[in-house]
Structure 1
Amino acid sequence: MSEKSNMSRRSFLKATGGAASASVIAGTAAGQETTTQQGGGGGGSGGTLNLINTGTMSTLDPIKATDTASGRVIQQMFDALMNYPDGAIEVQTQLATGYERSDDFTTYTFNLKEGAPFHGDFGEVTAQDFIYSWERLAASDNSRRAYFILDSIGIQHETDSEGNYKPGTLAVEAVDDYTLRVTLEEPFHATLPILAYTSFAALPEGILGDIQGYDGEMEYQTFATQNPIGAGPFQFETWQSNDEAEVSRFPNYHGETAQVEAVNWRIIEDDNAIYTYAMNRNADYFPIPTPFYDPNKVSVENTDDKGRETGTYGPVRNGATVNYLGVATINAFYIGFNTNRVEKPARQAAAYAMNQQQVIEQIFKGRGQAAYHFTPPNIYPGGPDAYTQHAEQNYPYGYNQTQIQQARQVMEDAGYGPNNQYEFTFTIYSGSDTWNQTAQLLRDQLASAHISMNIESAPFSTLLQRGREGNLQAYSLGWVMDWPAPDNFLQLLNPPQTDTSQDAPISYVNWSGTPAANRAASAYEQIEDNPAPTDEAEAARNESYVQMEEANWEDVVFLPVYHETDERFWYQNVDISKFGAAGPSRQMYNTTSIN
C-alpha cells in the first residue's frame, strides 16, 4: 500500500453507515478434553456424525454468511490464520504457525504452514491466497463483513472522496509464499480473535471473479451453493435448501484428519420436529428444544474450571439416558425496535411489562440468565458481579419485576387510552415455541397498557431480509460473539450502523436524533478512539460500554431478554470435545468419533 488512509474509524462509519449485517449467531488443537461420561471413545471408526441445523442456511461463502446455521457448516470447510479450538475463547494458530507483533501493536507478521492444501486441485495455501481472500472481504459486493476488516480491525487502506474503500489498497503484503504482513491504521485490542472468524478464511486466489483483477475460475453461485473450496478438515458434498447439508472427510487436511467419514446436518426449525428427529436416533449430537426439556432430568457430575457442566440427562422419550453439557456462552437475545416505526412510549411500556426473570423461569425453564444489558455477563466490564450490581441499582424499568402500572402510565402520558390504543407488530422467527410464548406473555401484559401488539412469524432468512430493508417494527433476534469483547455486541447499538437505508445495516433499529442516541454515538466514538490493547485504553472503553448500555435503557432500542446457557446432548456412541464460551457454532468435528 502506498498511502495510509486519512480516514479514522469514526469517519469511516459516518461515511458508510457501517458496511455490516446482522449476525445471529458464525479449530483444531492438541490436547482437547472430551466429555464422554459413558461409553463413547473409539479412536475413529468412521461413520457419519448426524446433527441438526436449527436455522435456515443462506450461503456457503464465508464473507456473505451472517447466520449461525450457515456458519456451522462453513466452520468445517474453511480455515483461517487463527481459530477458537472447540469454541474456547483463547485463540490459537490454525493456518498460521506463529506471528510477531510490533511494539506499537500495528504490524503483525504471520508465518504460514507450508504444504497446507486446499480441497480439490487448487494447490497449497500461500500468503497470496490470504491477500485475495481479504480483498474479497473488503471489496466484493457479496461481502457482508467488510466492516470487520476495514473498521473493526482497521487494516490500513485508501478511500475515495466519499469515504468508500479503494479496491486493492489493503496494507496486506506477501513477504514470501509463507509470510504475511498486515498493517493496521491503529492498534486494535482484539486483532487475533477477530482473525479467527471464518470471514478471514483462506480461499484459492482467483477462484471467483467478484473483485477487480480476477475473472474467476468458478461461477459465484456454483461456489456459494454447490462447490465451496477451502482448506478445512471437511470438504463439501451437498446442500439441499431447507433440507440437509453434508461434508466429507478431507484426507489431506493439514491438521488432524477427521475421524468420522462425514458430517450431516438435517435442517429443521420446528421444535417438535427437532425433538422427534433426535428421539428417533437420527441425530447423534443435538439440542433439546425447551418445550420438551425437563430440568429435573439433568444430573451434573462435574463442573470444570471454566464453569462447564457435564453429566447425564434422562431418561428421554425413547428411554435412553444421554450425555449432557451446559455452558454459559457469550450471547444475548433481545427484542429490537425499529425506532422509526414504534414510538418511544410503547417501547418503554414493553420494558416496564417485561419481567426477564419470569421469562427465564416460566418459559425457558432456567436455561440461561435474565438479561438487562446487551453485553453478556462473562465479558461485561468488571465481570458478572458488576453486571448484576449495575442492573440491580440502575435498571429503570424494574429489576426482576413486571410494572404494568408504570407501563399504563407512560402510554396515558403519551395520549393513549382504552379507546385510543397503540398498535404495533412483533415478528418472531418460525418454529421457536419459546419466543412465541414470550411474545404472547408480552402481548397479554401490554393489553393492560393500552397497546394492541400483533404477533407474526417468519422464516429466519426472511426475518433478516425484512430487517435489512427496514420492514419490521419489532423483532426477536440473538447475537453470538464474533470476538469476546463488549464492542462486538455494542456495535449493534452504534447509531450510524443501525440505519436501514444503508446497504447492510448491522441492526434494524434506525436509532438517531435523540439525546440518548447522540450519547451512544459519542460513546462509541470513544471506544473507536481507544482501540489499543493497553490498560488505559481498556478503561476508556469500559466507561463507554456502560454509557451505551444506559443510553439504550433510556430509548429502549434493544430490550434484552436473556443470555442463553448452551446445552448439548448426545448418545453413548459419540466421543466429542467440550465446547467453550464461544459456543458450539465454533466447534469443529474432526476430532469427534462415532462407535
Structure 2
Amino acid sequence: MDASNNIGNRTPGGLSRRNLLKYSALGVSLAGVSSLLAACGGEEGAGANISTKLLRIHLDEDISNLDPAFNAGHTNTTVRANIFEHLVTYRPDKFELVNELAEKFEPSSDGLRYDFTLKKGIQFHGGYGELTAEDVKFSYERIAGLTEPKIKSAYRSDWIALKGVEVHDKYSGTIVLKEPFAPLLATTLPVGSGEIVSKRAVEERGEAFGTSPIGTGPYEFVEWKRNQQVVLKKFANYGGAANYADKPLWGELRFVVIAEDNPTTIALETDELDFAVLGPTTVARVKKNNSFEVIEKTSLRYNWIGINAGHPNFKNKDVRLAVIHGIDVPSIIAGAFNGQWTRATGIVAPGMPIGYWKDAPVYQRDLAKAKEFLAKAGAQGMKIEMSVSTGTPGGAKVAEIVQANLNEVGFDVKVLVQEGGVFNQATPEANAQKQLFYMSYSTKPDPSWSTKWFTSDQIGEWNWMNWDNKEFTRLHNEALVEIDPAKRNEMYIRMQQLMDEDAVALWVAWPTASLAKRKGLKAPVRPDGDFIPWTFGRDA
C-alpha cells in the first residue's frame, strides 16, 4: 500500500500515536526525524512519489460553518474554495480575473449592469440538478437580504449596492446595481460572497446547509469530525467550469485540524501532512528538512489587540490609552513570532492597492505615560480580561506578554484561552463581554474588506470593539461607490485616523504567510498567501 494512504493507525485529527511511540522507543528525537526521513528519500522524481489518492492539508483551526453567507474564518474559506464556484474568480496564483461558471460576463459602461451567461451542464453535488440562473439570483440576493425569509449575513455589505438579479432564461441573467460599487470585481464576485449555492439545497437543509454544503465545485463534502478533520471527495459529475486550472487530481482532500505549531511540524516530519501552515517559530526547522519546501508571502491580513470600548472597563478613553501605551509590540513580535512578522500600524497593509497610511503613528511602550493615563482615569488595580483563541498562531504568547506588560502598568489581567470555534462563534452577548482580545483577520485586495468589520452595523457581529463611529461608517459606505482611486485612498486613510483617535485598537503585525509543501507537490499560491488545495498538482 502507498505510504501516503496507510492511515489505519492514525488518530483522526493528525499525528499517529504509533509513530510517536515508535520514534520514542528507538531513542530518536522528534527534532531529528526530519533528517531521518530526508535520508530515506531522494529528490529525483519527487512528484511521482506522491499518491493522487489522498492529499492531506493542514488547518490551523477548526471550521465552523461552510455556508458562504455565514463564513466565520479563514479555514472555512480554505475548505469552501473546493466546494463552491463563482461566475468569475481569481486564478490560483495571481489576482487576475477569469470566468468560472460564466461562459460570458459583460459589465455595462456605467457599472450598473453585469450580464452573464452560464456554462451549460454544470451539476450540483448530491443530485441537486443543473446550475441555473435562478441559483445565481438566489445566492446573491440571499446574502444581500433580499430573499424571504430574510437572513442576516455578516457579508451583506458585499452586496449593499444590489438592486436585484434579473433572470432572462435558464442560463442567463443580469446583476443590477442601485449605484456603482467599486469592490464588486475585486472582493465580492471573485471571493466568498460570489460563491453560488443550490437554491433547492439551502431551502431543504436550512441551517444544516452550513455543515452539509452543496456546490458545483470539483470536490463534494463527505464529513466533518469536530477538531479532527474535514473530508471531501472528488465530484464524479464535475462540470469542469474551472478550466483555467489543470483537472482535479486528488481522489480525496483531507483537511487535518492541528492548532499548535510543534505538533504541526511533527505531523509533516512523520508523513501525516502534505501541506501545512507554519507558525513563525517552526519555519527555520522546516526549511532544514530536505523533504519540504517553504513558500513565504507577506499577507494582507492584520493582527491586532482589540479594546471593547462598549465594556464598562473601557468606556473611558484614558483607560484605553493606558493599554495602548503599556504594551510592548516589538516584544510580542519577537516572542510570539520569532521576529519574522512585520509590525502593523493600521488595518491596511503596504501591499494593498490603495489605503495604506504610511504616516501612521508607531506606538512604543511608555510605562510612565501608561501609568499616567491609568491614574487619570482612577482605574489603578482594575481587573480586566484578555481573550485569545487557540487557533490564532502565537495567541497564548501574546496574552502572556500583554498580561505582564499591563500588570506592570497597574492593571490586574486575567487571560482566557478559548478553543477557536468557541472564540469565533460566541453569541453577541458573549462577544459584548470580551474586554481585550487578540485577533487576526484575513482580507482581500480591496481595503473595504478590511474596514467593513468595524462599521456601526457590525456591532454584535464582528465589531467586537463595539466601536460606534458614525464618520467611519459614512466614509466606508461612500468609498464603496467612489470610483476615483485617489479619493478612495484618502477615505481609507481617514478611517484609520479615526480608529487611532478613538484608541480602540493596538495594531500588532501584518503576518508573513509561511506554507510548507512536500517536495514534488505543485502548489500555486496567491500573492497574499491564499491557496486553493484542489488546484495542487505534482511536479513532472
* Alignment check: 8 A CA contact 2:113 2:174 kept: yes
- Find 2:436's aligned residue among 474, 486, 500: 474
- Residue identity opposite 2:525 in structure 1: K
* 1:190-228 CA-partner distances (Å, limit 9, x unpaired): 11221122333222332232xxxxxx3xx3355432x42
* 1:464-507 CA-partner distances (Å, limit 9, x unpaired): 233632121111211111x421221112222x12422xxxx231
Take 1:553 and 1:53, find their aligned partners in 2: how far apart are those partners?
A: 33
* Alignment check: 8 A CA contact 1:336 1:558 kept: yes
- Residue identity opposite 2:166 in structure 1: E
- Residue identity opposite 1:326 in structure 2: E
| Residue 146 (structure 1) shift | 5.0
Question: Greater RCO between the two (CA within 8 Å, min separation 6)?
Answer: 1
Take 2:198 and 2:426, find their aligned partners in 1: how far apart are those partners?
A: 33
> Is 1:195 aligned to 2:142, yes or no?
no
Take 1:552 and 1:46, find their aligned partners in 2: how far apart are those partners?
A: 49
* Alignment check: 8 A CA contact 2:303 2:441 kept: yes
The alignment partner of 1:97 has SS state of strand
- CA gap of 1:498–1:557, structure 2 versus 1, over 3 A, is farther
- Residue identity opposite 1:587 in structure 2: I
Partner of 1:277: 267
Partner of 2:105: 99
**Identity fraction in percent:** 21
Partner of 2:448: 487
* 1:312-366 CA-partner distances (Å, limit 9, x unpaired): x5324xxx44211101121011111111223222321221123333322343123
* Alignment check: 8 A CA contact 1:285 1:571 kept: yes
* Alignment check: 8 A CA contact 1:250 1:258 kept: no
Take 2:157 and 2:479, find their aligned partners in 1: how far apart are those partners?
A: 17
- Find 1:425's aligned residue among 362, 378, 385: 385
- CA gap of 1:45–1:441, structure 2 versus 1, over 3 A, is closer
Take 1:200 and 1:380, find their aligned partners in 2: how far apart are those partners?
A: 21
- Residue identity opposite 2:157 in structure 1: F
Take 1:56 and 1:87, find their aligned partners in 2: how far apart are those partners?
A: 25
- Find 2:168's aligned residue among 167, 172, 175: 175
- CA gap of 1:143–1:413, structure 2 versus 1, over 3 A, is closer
Take 2:508 and 2:397, find their aligned partners in 1: how far apart are those partners?
A: 13
Higher helix share: 2
Partner of 1:287: 277
Take 1:382 and 1:46, find their aligned partners in 2: how far apart are those partners?
A: 43
Take 2:158 and 2:491, find their aligned partners in 1: how far apart are those partners?
A: 22
The alignment partner of 2:233 has SS state of strand
The alignment partner of 2:57 has SS state of strand
Q: CA RMSD in A?
A: 2.5
* Alignment check: 8 A CA contact 1:115 1:125 kept: yes
Take 2:521 and 2:354, find their aligned partners in 1: how far apart are those partners?
A: 38
> Is 1:314 aligned to 2:259, yes or no?
no
* Alignment check: 8 A CA contact 1:428 1:458 kept: yes
- Give the aligned length: 484
Take 1:38 and 1:522, find their aligned partners in 2: how far apart are those partners?
A: 60
- Find 1:587's aligned residue among 529, 532, 537: 532
- CA gap of 1:60–1:51, structure 2 versus 1, over 3 A, is same
Partner of 2:491: 544
| Residue 372 (structure 1) shift | 1.0
| Residue 542 (structure 1) shift | 2.0
* Alignment check: 8 A CA contact 2:521 2:536 kept: no
Partner of 1:235: 220
- Residue identity opposite 1:178 in structure 2: Y
Partner of 1:368: 341
Partner of 1:213: none
Take 1:181 and 1:409, find their aligned partners in 2: how far apart are those partners?
A: 59
Structure 1, 270-279 or 402-411: larger mean CA deviation: 270-279
* Alignment check: 8 A CA contact 1:39 1:572 kept: no
- Residue identity opposite 1:590 in structure 2: T
> Is 1:565 aligned to 2:512, yes or no?
yes
TM-score, scaled to structure 1: 0.76
Take 1:44 and 1:97, find their aligned partners in 2: how far apart are those partners?
A: 34
| 1:98-177 superposed matches below 5 A | 98-137=104-143, 138=145, 139=147, 144-151=153-160, 154-156=161-163, 171-177=164-170
* 1:538-575 CA-partner distances (Å, limit 9, x unpaired): 33322221222112112221221111110111222422
The alignment partner of 2:512 has SS state of strand
Partner of 1:415: 378
- Find 1:73's aligned residue among 60, 76, 79: 79
- CA gap of 1:199–1:528, structure 2 versus 1, over 3 A, is closer
The alignment partner of 1:63 has SS state of helix
- CA gap of 1:506–1:447, structure 2 versus 1, over 3 A, is closer
- CA gap of 1:476–1:530, structure 2 versus 1, over 3 A, is closer
Partner of 2:320: 347
* Alignment check: 8 A CA contact 1:116 1:125 kept: yes
Partner of 1:402: 365
Partner of 2:67: 61
Take 1:475 and 1:331, find their aligned partners in 2: how far apart are those partners?
A: 17
* Alignment check: 8 A CA contact 2:327 2:406 kept: no
* Alignment check: 8 A CA contact 1:325 1:568 kept: yes
Structure 1: which 5+ runs fail to align?
Answer: 1-36, 157-170, 210-215, 298-312
The alignment partner of 1:531 has SS state of helix
| Residue 145 (structure 1) shift | 3.6
Partner of 2:20: none
The alignment partner of 1:265 has SS state of strand
| Residue 580 (structure 1) shift | 2.4
Partner of 1:510: 466
- Residue identity opposite 1:401 in structure 2: Q
* Alignment check: 8 A CA contact 1:579 1:587 kept: no
| Residue 457 (structure 1) shift | 0.6
The alignment partner of 1:579 has SS state of coil
TM-score, scaled to structure 2: 0.83
* Alignment check: 8 A CA contact 1:130 1:202 kept: yes
- CA gap of 1:260–1:524, structure 2 versus 1, over 3 A, is same
* Alignment check: 8 A CA contact 2:128 2:200 kept: no
| Residue 533 (structure 1) shift | 6.0
